[in-house]
Amino acid sequence: MAIAKMHHFKLYFLRSLNSEFLDFLQDFGDVHLKDLTEETELLDSGLEYFSEDEAILDVREEIGEIESAINLLSSYQEKKSGLKNLQEGNKNYSYEDLMTKGAQLDFTRFLLNLSNLNNSIENKKKIIERIENEILDLKPWIDLKVPSKAIEKTKHVNFITGYILSAQYESLKEDLKDFQYGLVERVGQDDKNSYILAIVEESELSKMTELLRKYSFYEETVKTEKNPAQDIKAKEKEIETLNNEIKEIENKYRSMTEDLDNLKLRYEYLKQVEKKLASVDNFLATKKVSVIEGYVASKNADIFQRRLRKNFPKDYYLEISEADKDDPNVPIELENNKFVSVFEPLTEMYSMPRYNEVDPTPFLAPFYWLFFGMMIADAGYGLLLLIGTYVLLRFNLSDSMRKNIKFFNYLGYSTILWGLIYGSVFGGAIEIPQLIDPAGDYMTVLIISIALGAVHMFLGMAMKAYVLIRDGHSIDAFFDVFSWYMVLIGAIYMILAGPLSLPGRNIAKYVMIAGMLIIVFFTGREAKSPVGRIASGAYNLYGISSWLGDFVSYLRLMALGLAGGFIGVAINMIAGTVASSGIVGIIFAAVIFVGGQLFNLALSALSAYVHTLRLTFVEFFGKFYEGGGKKFNRVRKETKYINIKK
């Protein structure tokens, strides 16, 4: 249970064999390539960058086209239920099958056909949008009973179309009494405007124009083949025809979804090819020789060398040795047992350890497991977690998803354990014996929370001491860690000695004082002057106030457990009250109970997840862990649409 040991290698080979060696590295899989573009010494020695292979541009273009096709066709695929979809999961392939079958697939004609269909739909949608705008322009004139050519200007009569504010229409009609040969008719109306047709004899045109200007008339030309109502109907028919044509194309899309699985396979194959071609960015070369550096897990180093000899008997030169413990470039791969490994994503979420650090996951795992269960502390909820996760684990899941489900599966056991201790099953819906009554004996729960917190933080300090001693800094371990043990343990014993009538209270006091003096005089030893050392040590001692805050932080173990329990009890009380009103009440009570308890489970689980992370990252990791390591990045690309099975 530790950080996987690594071997560092330098591999030299003929530049003409770049592709073959990349294929080998990707097929081997468990190799991390070092970026050599930052190695100035190598560049100064005459090596040069590799220019990106032009073939990668074609690969990326096809990846983009296939991904667009997958996204488009997926929306037309027959929908499966969420449970069935999860149960089937992604299809499983070996890496060899992926690369063999993916290379054989050719979707050139398929993608061209799909692109033409897609362009056809886009063009039809643009035409529909244009026609809809034309209909909008015609709708205000829907009551005009003649086509536009019937209201064109003649020798003696003028036709004017446009609109005014509806509130002014009646006033306009009144002013028309002064006209001998003038007429205005409203042929349409919307929320605020009246659309009008003005007919006037040539001799009164200027008078009509002046009158309309008075009412802020806005002239608008109407162009129709028939009358507006008939034109609108014809255009709506045209839209209907275009929509039917779009539906025919969409039916073709549905028939093309049969190729989705192969499209996804081709996509994953191309992503592997892209990663392989992009890997040359890590290479340096002379005119004839390429050089790469990388890392391979020590357990695979012999296999790596044997396979190189088998594939390229005389075409390479390899330098390989154990990685330097203090090399910051060594990639990190964690190796833990089944239980601890499911907690590795939490460590990765914070930061991977450096190669010369200790993997904190084995120490994180049991406390996270314990704290999570204590914050929910309901056997019923734990049972639901177990049942739900066991069902999901029977599905075809990716490795990462399976690890996440297993994580919550393990946490279900902790939740049941604390539920049995507290005697809580669905907020007391089922009565069972209890070891601790959290509501009545809250002081016991408080003491347990603080005690667990003390163990958690003291373990963090012990980890710091271990690393210092391991690296030959035993004096630093004594001054910087054991002095704090003396202060904290002495202070805690002094506090407890009075109420519990414990012996040796004075000894604890002297131990505490001795620890304080060590902190003041020796923890600031980096300062150059004696005064500076004492001032720095005094400031470090002032940090004891932060320890009080750290201890208080662990009260959330009690608080969240109590909060979830009280909410569960409240839900049961509401459901019980509703159930007393008869058959209908019983039905509603069942809904309230099931819905309320599921809601409380979700809320409690989310709170427990976040707050346990906080205790881990701040109170625990803050005592010893720095992180900053690089994750082991394989030459193979992680897959999105399929599962790679070994």
Provide DSSP, 550-572: HHHHTTHHHHHHHHHHHHHHHHH
Three-class DSSP category at 355: coil
DSSP H helical ranges for 105-151: 108-138
Closest CA to 24 of 635, 470, 639, 643: 635
Token output for 429: 């819906």
Q: Please give the DSSP secondary-structure letter assigned to residue 617.
A: I
Can you tell me the distance from the alpha carbon of 338 to that of 403, in angstroms, rounded to the nearest whole number?
Answer: 10
Three-state SS at 118: helix
Q: Residue 608: what pLDDT?
A: 95
Query: What is the pLDDT, as a whole number, of residue 51?
Result: 61
From the list 515, 357, 625, 509, the residue with the least C-alpha distance to 523 is 515
- Number of helices and strands in the chain (H, E): 25, 16
Gap between the terminal Cα atoms of the chain: 23
Distance CA 245, CA 407 (A): 51
- The number of CA neighbours under 13 Å toward the Cβ of 72 is 23
Question: Phi and psi dihedrals of 328, rounded to 5?
Answer: -70, -10
Angstrom distance (rounded) from CA 492 to CA 544: 13
Angle between helix 399-422 and 556-579 (nearest 10): 80
Which residue from 386, 410, 396, 289 is spatially nearest to 338, judged by alpha carbons?
Answer: 410
Question: Residue 387 corresponds to which amino acid?
Answer: I
Grouping H, G, I as helix, E, B as strand and the rest as coil, residue 186 is strand
Alpha-carbon gap, residue 80 to 82, rounded angstroms? 6
Work out whether strand 193-201 and strand 289-297 pair parallel, antiparallel, or are unpaired. unpaired
The pLDDT of residue 571: 92
DSSP characters over 373-399:
HHHH--HHHHHHHHHHHHHHTTS---H
Tokens of 74: 């997926």
CA torsion 586→587→592→595, rounded to 10°? Answer: 140
b/e burial code for range 404-431 (CB count within 10 A of at least 16 → b) = bbbbbbbbbebbbbbbbbbbbbbbbbee
**Positions in the chain short of pLDDT 50:** none
Residues recorded for the chain: 646
Which tokens belong to 450? 């603080």
pLDDT value, residue 45: 56
8-state DSSP, 110? H
Which letter does DSSP use for residue 89 in this model?
-
Q: 10 Å Cβ neighbour count for 375?
A: 28
Tokens of 162: 């446009």
Residue 239: exposure state from Cβ atoms within 10 A (0-12, 13-18, ≥19)? middle
* Element holding 59 (H helix, E strand): helix 55-74
Angle value at C-alpha 258, between 253 and 263, nearest 5 degrees: 90
Residues 522, 535: Cα–Cα separation, whole Å: 11
Q: Cα separation of 499 and 632, whole Å?
A: 53
Query: How do 31-33 and 316-322 pair as beta strands?
Result: unpaired
Strands (E), 434-549: none
**Ramachandran sector of residue 423 (left: φ over 0; alpha: ψ -120 to 50; beta: rest):** left
Report the SS3 class of residue 239.
Answer: helix
Cα–Cα distance, 189 to 166 (Å, whole number): 8
pLDDT of residue 46: 56
| Cα 164 from Cα 186, distance rounded (Å) | 10
